Chain A
Amino acid sequence: MKRHLLSTADLDRSDALLVLDTAEELARVADRPIKKMPTLRGRTVVNLFYEDSTRTRISFEAAAKRLSADVINFSAKGSSVSKGESLKDTALTLAAMGADAVVVRHSMSGAPHRLAHADWLDAHVINAGDGTHEHPTQALLDAFTLRRHLRDRVETPASGAPALDGLHVAIVGDVLHSRVARSNVHLLNTLGARVTLVAPPTLMPMNIEDWSCELSYALDPVLPEVDAVMMLRVQSERMDGSFFPSAREYSRRYGLDERRLNLMAEHALVMHPGPMNRGLEISASAADSPRSVIVEQVRNGVSVRMAVLYLLLSGSEPAIGHQEGVA
């Protein structure tokens, strides 16, 4: 029985809370003189990155190293992939080298799922972002950050431990191309939060009505009601057409600037998964304002990824995530 973390939809409420609680304990490791634990000694974690990334790759690398795992970094550039090697052959190579976990980022949606289920290698697969599909650890670190800051505002649920119950989060911008938005909508719903997606009609995905969240084409009316606003990056590299007339118009209608910041409640947080296009979806003054937790999101990313690696890899069977062969 083998499990993977491919989508936040695979996590039920208790799984997600277990990750967050574990991350809370592991966050303390960052404050110690020796930021390392022997837990995953002898395990090999491969970072398989077919797409550029700074913080996610470094974050996974730091997380694995703090748990004493051996880390192999693989990026498509400068590897046999540029000679035309397929995902399958790369996977077989990794299997031959004894990878215990593969952290995969790929520009094609579904690549991690293929890797996990194609029987090419016997390793845990962790999705670090696939195309416009999912980025589960980003959603987990966002939930972790929200919970840390807004704990006092979370409602107590009828049963079980409080998660993010009753919070209202706006996800703003390029929802169409955003794996972060999709992962967050799943996870925030699981944890009891209310989500409003804000985007121009051209950047809303097809069948968005099926997502369990509210929709708005205008940002200003939403801002006073939310506990946090997640600004999404405008992903020009995935845009093969024109989705809005000009950057300036996008910024005027959907960018978070000083004026919009002042529409938000006193306690409300500003979040961004990075990398930011300063001046486009978020102004410098909003990104650097005291209510911005963008840098903290990066720090929390390491704790959350440590928790995921620990829960998937440390035991004889993983404690969370997608389970093969079980309905």
Chain B
Amino acid sequence: MTAVPTRPSDPSEDARPVLDASDIARALTRIAHEIVERNKGCADLVLLGIPSRGVPLAHRIAARLEEIEGTSVPVGSLDITMYRDDLRTQPARTLEVTDLPAQGIDGAVVVLVDDVLFSGRTTRAALDAVSDIGRPRAVQLAVLVDRGHRELPIRADYVGKNLPTSLRESVHVQLLELDDRDAVTLGMDGDVLDHGHDAGIAGVGERE
């Protein structure tokens, strides 16, 4: 079997810590407050996490929204594998779970949640996936880390941390739900130059 797992490997030894557990917690709390402020509450809100690490982030944001507003916000996961533009450049990928809230997303304000915003290609794929499952009133984007180097005209509405990086670096997000700790680290990725425009997708530790 040669399907490529989308779980990133562990960051290298010399990776530099960027955010620790409490930084991540504070960033998510701020994002939750910004979501409430921008949307004047959380009526009609649906959070869709992009697997794998967007999903636990979406659940964490939803928990904070419930603390702030006292209402529960539907959370789902949206696999974008079938919508990727680089499917042909790699072996067939294993699909992740798509699990939509029962009420659907028609007329809702969908907040896409992902760990790292890089080229913007994952977000582009997610927008296509969203339009195939319904017609939301609006789509917003929340990311834990924006590392720049966009290749498409896409920006995030809510950013946990703006992290200037070089293309040679790789951003690793670890979350307790999937890894052994909460952390964001920045390491050097020796292979990245070979990947050309696929850098982020093929990079060792990134989702985008």
Residues of A at the B interface (CB closer than 8 Å) are 12, 14-15, 18, 21-22, 25-26, 28, 32-34, 36-39, 67, 310-320
Is B79's CB under 8 angstroms from A319's CB?
no
Other 18 A-B pairs with CB < 8 A, given A37-B83, A312-B92, A315-B93:
A18-B3, A21-B94, A22-B94, A25-B98, A26-B95, A28-B98, A38-B82, A39-B87, A310-B82, A314-B92, A314-B93, A315-B87, A315-B88, A316-B89, A316-B90, A317-B2, A317-B91, A317-B92
The residue in chain B whose Cβ has the minimal distance to the Cβ of A3 is B2
Could you tell me the dominant secondary structure of chain A's interface residues? loop
CA distance A207 to B98 in the complex (A): 46
Enumerate 12 A-B pairs (CB-CB under 8 Å) in ascending A order: A18-B1, A18-B3, A18-B94, A32-B133, A34-B132, A37-B132, A39-B82, A310-B82, A315-B93, A316-B91, A318-B2, A319-B3
Residues of B at the A interface (CB closer than 8 Å) are 1-3, 79, 82-83, 87-98, 128, 132-134
CB-defined contacts of A320 to chain B, threshold 8 Å: 1
CA distance A39 to B90 in the complex (A): 13
CA distance A189 to B8 in the complex (A): 33
CA distance A316 to B88 in the complex (A): 5
CB-defined contacts of A38 to chain B, threshold 8 Å: 82-83, 128
Chain A: minimal CB distance from B194 (Å): 15
CB-defined contacts of B134 to chain A, threshold 8 Å: 33
Is A315's CB under 8 angstroms from B1's CB?
no
CB-defined contacts of B133 to chain A, threshold 8 Å: 32-34
CA distance A316 to B94 in the complex (A): 14
Report which of B3, B79, B89, B90 forms a contact with A311, defined as CB distance below 8 A: B3
The residue in chain B whose Cβ has the minimal distance to the Cβ of A306 is B82
User: Which of B83, B89, B94, B134 lies at the interface centre, i.e. has the most chain A CB atoms within 10 A of its CB?
Assistant: B94
Inter-chain contact count A-B, CB under 8 Å? Answer: 67
Report which of A25, A36, A67, A311 forms a contact with B97, defined as CB distance below 8 A: A25
CA distance A231 to B172 in the complex (A): 53
Report which of A14, A312, A313, A314 forms a contact with B1, defined as CB distance below 8 A: A14
The residue in chain A whose Cβ has the minimal distance to the Cβ of B97 is A25
CB-defined contacts of B79 to chain A, threshold 8 Å: 25
CB-defined contacts of A25 to chain B, threshold 8 Å: 79, 95-98
Report which of B1, B82, B128, B132 forms a contact with A15, defined as CB distance below 8 A: B1
Is A314's CB under 8 angstroms from B88's CB?
yes
Chain B: minimal CB distance from A140 (Å): 15
CA distance A15 to B2 in the complex (A): 9
Chain A: minimal CB distance from B86 (Å): 10
CB-defined contacts of A312 to chain B, threshold 8 Å: 92
CB-defined contacts of B95 to chain A, threshold 8 Å: 21-22, 25-26
Is B97's CB under 8 angstroms from A315's CB?
no
The residue in chain B whose Cβ has the minimal distance to the Cβ of A311 is B92
CB-defined contacts of B92 to chain A, threshold 8 Å: 310-315, 317-319
Chain B: minimal CB distance from A10 (Å): 12
Is A36's CB under 8 angstroms from B132's CB?
yes
- Given A37-B82, A39-B82, A320-B1, the answer on whether A315 and B91 have CB atoms closer than 8 Å is yes
CA distance A37 to B80 in the complex (A): 10
The residue in chain A whose Cβ has the minimal distance to the Cβ of B133 is A32
CB-defined contacts of B3 to chain A, threshold 8 Å: 18, 311, 319
CA distance A37 to B97 in the complex (A): 15
CA distance A32 to B103 in the complex (A): 12
CB-defined contacts of A14 to chain B, threshold 8 Å: 1
CA distance A39 to B79 in the complex (A): 13
Chain B: minimal CB distance from A306 (Å): 10
CB-defined contacts of A36 to chain B, threshold 8 Å: 132
Chain A: minimal CB distance from B74 (Å): 17
Report which of B90, B94, B132 forms a contact with A32, defined as CB distance below 8 A: B132
CB-defined contacts of A26 to chain B, threshold 8 Å: 95
Report which of B89, B91, B98, B132 forms a contact with A319, defined as CB distance below 8 A: B91
User: Which of A14, A38, A313 lies at the interface centre, i.e. has the most chain B CB atoms within 10 A of its CB?
Assistant: A38
CB-defined contacts of B2 to chain A, threshold 8 Å: 317-319
CB-defined contacts of A311 to chain B, threshold 8 Å: 3, 92
Chain B: minimal CB distance from A179 (Å): 25
The residue in chain B whose Cβ has the minimal distance to the Cβ of A310 is B92
CB-defined contacts of A39 to chain B, threshold 8 Å: 82-83, 87
Chain A: minimal CB distance from B80 (Å): 10
The residue in chain A whose Cβ has the minimal distance to the Cβ of B134 is A33
CA distance A314 to B91 in the complex (A): 8
